[in-house]
């Protein structure tokens, strides 16, 4: 009975450890994927000057203060792809700017007006903190998405994401560290599983020994009982 309880306890501990390892692995994987997506998105944007989208959503880092106080400088925002026909005056949009000073990079401003030029609609945009509208109108094909919300504001710390070398290190170093930690964790897990297998085998051997001993005792008692019966018959 004690041996059986010992096996149950060890199996319960083993099951609990496996659950903890599974949870840790899932959390680790999710965080690693999010890190790769976020930093990879920034690197892709800076190298190609294009904005990648995942399931219709993109993350942008606002490096200027033209949309303050709604969008502070060095704030990560979430934008969503949208049909330009659905946009209205007052919407905040991210678009590829035609302003030579920006050189085709994405810009995020509010729609100030909608005008017609040569039979086509164009958006007149303006930063909330700017005194006048932008000099260059935005065509429908230049619209990247509509502003959804602020994700996180990093203030001056956010300036590091403007440096390609720093962004690269932010991607590679954490990934390398997490990879090494996972290798160490897998090594420890393998060692623990091996040790647990050895302990389980030892417990099973003890149980077999106990069962063998019980069997021998039972056989001995049966023999004694038979001897008593024989003596009783002889005396009769």
Q: Rounded to an integer, what is the distance from CA 150 to the centroid of its chain?
A: 19
Q: Tell whether 74 and 147 lie within a shared domain.
A: yes
| H/E segment holding residue 165 | helix 164-235
Asked if the model's pLDDT at residue 71 lies above 90, the reply is yes
The confidence score (pLDDT) of residue 101 equals 87
- pLDDT > 90? residue 222: no
What local confidence, expressed as pLDDT, does residue 66 receive?
94
What is the C-alpha separation between 115 and 117, in angstroms, rounded? 7
Say yes or no to pLDDT of 2 above 50.
Answer: no
Pair 94, 168 in one domain: no
Q: Match 């007149």 to its residue by tokens.
A: 124
Q: Are 104 and 96 in contact (CB under 8 A)?
A: yes
Indicate the helix (H) or strand (E) that contains 213.
helix 164-235
What is the distance, to the nearest Å, from the Cα of residue 168 to the centroid of all Cα atoms in its chain? 19
C-alpha 182/C-alpha 29 separation (Å) is 10
What value, to the nearest 5°, has the Cα angle with vertex 224 and ends 220 and 230? 145
Q: How many residues does the chain have?
A: 236
Whether 43 and 111 map to the same domain: the answer is no
* pTM (predicted TM-score): 0.55
- Between residues 170 and 122, which one has the greater pLDDT? 122
pLDDT band of 149, cuts 50, 70, 90: very high
> What per-residue confidence (pLDDT) applies to 189?
77
Can you give the pLDDT at residue 50? 74
Mean pLDDT of the chain: 76
Residues 80 and 152 placed together within one structural domain of the fold: yes
User: Residue 40, Cβ neighbours under 10 Å: how many?
Assistant: 13
The CATH number that applies at residue 77 is 2.10.109.10
182, 199: one domain: yes
pLDDT for 69: 93
Of the candidates 61, 125, 65, the one whose C-alpha atom is nearest the C-alpha of residue 95 is: 125
Among 100-109, 113-122, 123-132, 147-156, the range scoring the smallest mean pLDDT is 147-156
How many domains does one find in the chain?
2
Q: Could you read off the pLDDT of 85-113 as tens digits, one per residue?
A: 999 999 999 999 999 888 788 999 999 99
What pLDDT band is residue 177 in, cutting at 50, 70 and 90? confident
The tokens describing 137, both together, are 């109108």
pLDDT-derived band at 144 (thresholds 50, 70, 90) equals: very high
206: containing domain: 1-48+163-236
Predicted confidence at residue 116, as pLDDT, reads 93
End of a domain among 158, 177, 192?
A: 158
Is 94 or 234 the better-scoring residue by pLDDT? 94
pLDDT (mean) for 51-80: 88
Is the same domain home to 129 and 61?
A: yes
175 and 104 in one domain?
Answer: no
For residue range 180-201, list pLDDT tens digits in order.
877 887 787 777 777 777 777 6
The mean pLDDT value for 137-161 works out to 81
Among 134, 158, 182, give the residue marking a domain's end. Answer: 158
Q: How confident is the model at residue 11 (pLDDT cuts 50, 70, 90)?
A: low
Q: Is the pLDDT of residue 1 over 50?
A: no
Q: Whose CA is closest to 111, among 138, 131, 77, 72?
A: 138
Q: How far apart are CA 37 and CA 40, in angstroms?
A: 5
Which of 113, 130, 158 marks a domain boundary?
Answer: 158
């Amino acid at each position: 009975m004690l041996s059986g309880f010992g096996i149950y306890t060890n199996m319960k501990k083993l099951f609990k450890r496996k659950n903890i390892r599974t949870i840790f692995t899932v959390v680790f994987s999710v965080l690693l994927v999010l890190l790769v997506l976020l930093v990879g998105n920034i690197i892709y944007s800076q190298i190609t000057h294009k904005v990648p989208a995942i399931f219709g959503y993109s993350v942008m880092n606002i490096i200027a203060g033209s949309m303050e106080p709604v969008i502070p400088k060095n704030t990560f925002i979430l934008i969503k792809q949208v049909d330009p026909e659905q946009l209205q005056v007052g919407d905040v949009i991210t678009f590829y700017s035609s302003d030579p000073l920006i050189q085709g990079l994405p810009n995020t401003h509010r729609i100030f007006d909608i005008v017609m030029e040569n039979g086509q609609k164009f958006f007149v945009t303006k930063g909330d903190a700017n005194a006048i509208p932008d000099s260059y109108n935005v065509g429908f094909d230049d619209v990247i998405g509509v502003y959804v919300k602020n994700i996180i504001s990093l203030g001056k710390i956010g300036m590091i994401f403007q440096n390609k070398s720093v962004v690269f290190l932010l991607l590679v170093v954490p990934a390398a560290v997490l990879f090494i930690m996972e290798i160490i964790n897998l090594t420890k897990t393998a060692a623990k599983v091996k040790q647990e297998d050895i302990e389980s085998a030892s417990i099973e051997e003890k149980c077999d020994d106990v069962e063998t001993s019980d069997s021998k005792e039972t056989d001995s008692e049966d023999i004694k009982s038979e001897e008593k019966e024989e003596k009783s018959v002889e005396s009769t």
